[in-house]
Amino acid sequence: MTRLDNDIPHIPQVENSLEAFSLPNTHQFLLPSKARQQPYRIFVYTPAQEAPPQGFPVLYLLDANALFGTIVEAVRVQARRPEKTGVYPAIIVGIGYPTDEPFDDSRYYDFTMPTSDEVLKALPVRNKDHVWPKVGGAEDFRDFIEQALKPRIERDYPVDRNRQGIFGHSLGGLFVLQTLLTMPDSFQFYVAGSPSIHWNKELVRQQEAQFAALQQHARKRIHLLITLGELEDAHPSGMNGNAREFFERFSLLTSEELRVEYQEFEGEGHVSVLPALVSRMLRFVLGG
């Protein structure tokens, strides 16, 4: 039997458009820093709901070029039924760079403390001719967050200053831990994904020894979550071992004012672990 053209269902033509897709309730702006020539690219998501009297919790996110969209979509979907998901509406602030690439070499400077040539030479690399970008600007980056970014966000958005979190992965995870150890009042929730403790291992130990004294003067309860991918255990840096040891030492300090949790994700590596940890991280920071 021959099929006639008029037997074929009509398929509506979609107008070819070059308009870029954007996530609802998000926008971005550039924010200059005293310590660098280029500004930071700041991404912001705000919930559609009316803010509660105390404001929304806020999560500050490092490497936002790579992770902002993933985390915003997870919040948008899960915060619709917080009683089921454990994720409540929140403002998400991503700190990124003026590029469309997922990562920028500026992160090496922003996320690390000063690092000696001997330590850099001992770090695992893919080839022997590898040259590290400039490092050692973590204190400048913290100053930017505290003195430029937070005041801007708190001026323009209904933020609950008693529920502020920060999330970073890899070198960003190292930055999160060192911020906790040196400026524990900066945030109440700290999430360090696959922290690169091997970069500043000796300095981290020194900062740990000083943390107990700082914690005694902390004004708010502190929550710390450390996550790893199971397959990262094979990394030559000893990433999982370093993180486990840090968790075990830090757990000895656990009190009413300090909550510490640790989780490894089965079957996940250093990059694939990122989507896997998002829901766990959001429940930790944005739970009721």
Q: In this model, does residue 216 exceed pLDDT 90?
A: no
Enumerate residues 6+ apart whose C-beta is below 8 A from 48. Answer: 24, 25
Q: In this model, does residue 21 exceed pLDDT 90?
A: no
pLDDT for the residue 17: 63
Over residues 156-172, the pLDDT tens digits come to 999 999 999 999 999 99
Report the candidate in 200, 46, 14 with the shortest Cα–Cα distance to residue 123: 200
More confident residue, 228 or 17: 228
Q: In this model, does residue 209 exceed pLDDT 90?
A: no
Residues designated as active site: 170, 232, 270
- DSSP for the chain reads -PPPGGGSPP-PPPP---PPP--TTEEEEEEEETTEEEEEEEEEE--SSPPPTT-EEEEEESSHHHHHHHHHHHHHHHTTSHHHHS----EEEEEE-SSSSS--THHHHHH-----HHHHHHS--SSTT--------HHHHHHHIIIIIHHHHHHHS-EEEEEEEEEEETHHHHHHHHHHHH-GGG-SEEEEES--GGGGHHHHHHHHHHHHHHHHT-SS-EEEEEEEEGGGGGSTT-HHHHHHHHHHHHHTT-BTTEEEEEEEETT--TTTHHHHHHHHHHHHHH--
Lowest mean pLDDT among 12-21, 40-49, 146-155, 277-286: 12-21
pLDDT for the residue 12: 53
pLDDT for the residue 122: 82
Query: What are the angstrom distances between the C-alpha of 76 and each of 59, 273, 282?
Result: 14, 20, 11
Among residues of the chain, what percentage have pLDDT more than 90?
72
> How many other CB atoms sit within 10 Å of the CB of residue 4?
7
pLDDT for the residue 16: 61
Q: Give pTM, 2 decimals.
A: 0.91
Mean pLDDT computed over 206-225: 83
Q: For residue 215, what pLDDT band results from cuts at 50, 70 and 90?
A: confident
Mean pLDDT computed over 78-94: 95
pLDDT for the residue 6: 47
Query: What are the angstrom distances between the C-alpha of 283 and each of 77, 137, 212?
Result: 13, 31, 27
Q: In this model, does residue 86 exceed pLDDT 90?
A: yes
